């Protein structure tokens, strides 16, 4: 399967998963940290099951131990930031701001993976930032709590993807992703042990059903994007192309979640960021 098809699958499943996350987090009783732990564990266990069926394998970890530690910190913090952001802002706004993770991935890919970055890609970066600024404009450029959490999540995941690109050069993708989801979740749980008391609302049948669907979609999205890198070997190109999920998510949020406040501003911001993504890619 070509890396382009793998990226397309990742884009579609990720876009749907963001909407489902927003639906689950709309409930005032859903704690973002507790949700982050449960979500990562559910997704990680689903991926682990798949990895065990196809053959779980781990290479010599000594050479990449610093990268694994970095991965744990970035994904642990990043997932908490994501769910805090989705608790505070609409899915469409979060998605556009989260698109800035492309910038961090490109910077890291150029500095640490030896990939190229052209003037055209620099122009694309400016367009992405302009799109984010437009979405964040509320009677002047004000970065509210939700926007700041979205930017923090973008930084964490942008750097994490470049770090992952280095690790998975010699690592089975499903086996690695099982670690990516499970280990950070357990560490967050150890840091916030009282979160267990806030997990109770997530264990009703309806919530668990939606959470299971979310875990499957997110697992497919994660596996396919990393398989795309193993085939294409170009994080600076694949990361921006993966951001086309931004436009799809905004459209789906408008249609299904009725997120139509500041519609023109969102669409213009999304269009600017999308143009930037095309130039960067």
Q: Provide the whole-model pTM.
A: 0.78
Rounded Cα gap, residues 165 and 109, in angstroms: 9
Tell me what pLDDT residue 138 has: 56
- The domain in which residue 222 lies consists of 3-280
The answer, yes or no, to whether residue 16 has pLDDT greater than 80, is: yes
Q: Give how many domains the chain has, as a whole number.
A: 1
Provide the CB-side half-sphere exposure for 263 (13 A, CA).
9
Cα 126 to the center of its chain, rounded Å: 21
Among 101, 85, 79, CA closest to 35: 79
Tell me what pLDDT residue 205 has: 87
Q: Is 154 helix (H, G, I), strand (E, B) or coil?
A: helix
What would the pLDDT profile of 243-273 be if each residue is shown by its tens digit?
Answer: 777 777 777 887 887 777 777 877 787 788 7
The answer, yes or no, to whether residue 144 has pLDDT greater than 90, is: no
Tell me what pLDDT residue 136 has: 60
DSSP H helices, 136-234, are 145-167, 173-191, 205-232
């Amino acid at each position: 399967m070509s890396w382009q098809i793998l990226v397309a699958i990742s884009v579609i499943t990720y876009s749907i998963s963001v909407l489902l996350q927003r639906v689950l987090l709309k409930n005032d009783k859903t704690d973002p940290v507790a949700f982050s732990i449960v979500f990562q564990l559910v997704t990680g266990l689903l991926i682990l099951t798949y990895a065990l069926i196809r053959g779980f394998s781990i290479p010599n970890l000594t050479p990449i131990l610093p990268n694994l530690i970095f991965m744990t910190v970035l994904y642990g913090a990043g997932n908490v930031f994501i769910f805090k952001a989705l608790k505070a802002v609409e899915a469409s706004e979060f998605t556009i701001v989260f698109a800035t993770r492309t910038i961090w991935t490109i910077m890291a890919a150029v500095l640490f993976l030896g990939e190229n970055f052209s003037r055209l890609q620099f122009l694309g970066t400016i367009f992405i930032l302009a799109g984010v600024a437009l979405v964040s404009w509320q009677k002047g450029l004000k970065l509210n709590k939700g926007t700041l959490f979205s930017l923090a999540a973008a930084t964490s995941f942008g750097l994490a993807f470049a770090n992952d690109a280095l690790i998975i050069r010699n690592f089975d993708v499903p086996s690695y992703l099982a670690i990516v989801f499970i280990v950070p979740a357990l560490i967050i749980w150890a840091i916030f042990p009282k979160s267990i008391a806030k997990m109770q609302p997530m264990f009703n049948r309806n919530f668990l059903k939606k959470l299971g669907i979310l875990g499957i979609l997110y697992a497919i999205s994660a596996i396919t994007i990393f398989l795309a890198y193993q085939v294409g070997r170009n994080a600076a190109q694949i990361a921006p192309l993966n951001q086309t999920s931004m436009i799809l998510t905004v459209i789906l949020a408008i249609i299904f979640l009725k997120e139509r406040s500041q519609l023109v501003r969102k669409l213009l911001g999304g269009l600017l960021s999308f143009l930037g993504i095309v130039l960067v890619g």
